[in-house]
Amino acid sequence: MRRVLFVGHSHITAVQAAHLDSGGGAEMEFCGVTSARFHPESENGVLHPAIMERILAAPTALHVSMIGGNDHCTICLANDPRPFDFVLPEAPELPMDPAAEIIPAGLLRAELKRRITPHLDMLAALRAAVSGRLVHLESPPPVPAAAFIESKPDTFSQVLAERGVAPAGFRYKMWRLHSALYAQACAALGVEFLSAPRQMQDAQGMLVAPAWRDATHANAFYGRHVLAQLGA
């Protein structure tokens, strides 16, 4: 029996790299779905046939979702031409930018929900496709250092060059808002939501430096902690 199957988008690479560093092995498999051959990932509540083929290839004890996870970055990684900020409902004590326009958290939540809906649809289709335990992994916390983000911008090089990196505290609040939407969806679907490893966060909740890979992704060091958290 295959022990674990990971299904998801770009954040899957951190865990896959950690697995390979440990020597690999057939008991753990990775189905990354970023290539066009998996699109659309789900339709009318059913996963793409190529994804279903990977799922059905072998009995599996644990299925792990790393679906989506980067949509908040498209809103918050770079400075907005019209700077804005918001009060995070579950942590109203977090700092605010006094020079920014304050907008309701509900508006940002609605926009994030719109952006992640295709991923939540895929998560629902994955839940329908597999029996037994299904865990969704929270995406990694934001990288705090603007200089590092600028040096490894990933797909955000143009917008970062034009606008610069947004304040770390703002990006952290957006990540929390994004994660809360996934946690809410997981609760409704009967999927376990596994938070980012606490030891991978600094005192401000941001990603610790040894775990940085690029502007929005973590590396194999982070992946090893995720695997330990899963008991995998």
DSSP per position, 166-221 = PPHHHHHHHHHHHHHHHHHHHHHHT-EEEPPPGGGB-TTSPBPGGGB-SSS-B-HH
Percent of the chain exceeding pLDDT 90 equals: 94
Position 24 scores a pLDDT of: 82
Q: How confident is the model at residue 18 (pLDDT cuts 50, 70, 90)?
A: very high
Q: Is residue 46 part of a domain?
A: yes
Does a structural domain hold residue 108? no
In a domain, 82, yes or no: no
- Assign 232 a pLDDT band (cuts: 50, 70, 90): confident
- Over residues 62-80, mean pLDDT: 97
| Containing structural domain, residue 184 | 2-69+113-155+179-230
pLDDT confidence of residue 107: 97
**For the segment 145-192, what is each residue's pLDDT rounded down to a tens digit?**
999 999 999 999 999 999 999 999 999 999 999 999 999 999 999 999
In a domain, residue 166? The reply is no
Give the separation between CA 156 and CA 221, rounded to whole angstroms.
23
What pLDDT is recorded for position 189?
Answer: 98
pTM score? 0.96
Work out the pLDDT band at 1, boundaries 50, 70, 90: low
**How far is CA 31 from each of CA 19, 44, 65, 85, 150, rounded to the nearest angstrom?**
14, 21, 10, 36, 30
Tokens 């989506």 found at: 68
Summarised one tens digit per residue, pLDDT across range 164-175 is 999 999 999 999
Residues 100-124 have a mean pLDDT of 97
Question: Residue 201: inside a domain, yes or no?
Answer: yes
Q: How many helices (H) and strands (E) does the chain have?
A: 8, 9
Residue 92 lies in a domain: no
Neighbours of 208 (CB within 10 A): 19
Asked if residue 225 belongs to a domain, the reply is yes
How large is the average pLDDT for residues 14-33?
A: 92
Two tokens, residue 178: 């994004």
Tell me, yes or no, whether 9 lies in a domain. yes
Q: Within a 10 A sphere around the Cβ of 76, how many other Cβ atoms?
A: 24
Q: How many domains does the chain have?
A: 1
- With a cut of 90, say whether residue 86 has pLDDT above it: yes
CATH code: domain of residue 150 = 3.40.50.1110
The H-or-E segment that residue 62 falls in is strand 60-66
In the predicted model, what is the mean pLDDT of the chain?
A: 96
Binned at pLDDT 50, 70 and 90, residue 124 comes out as: very high
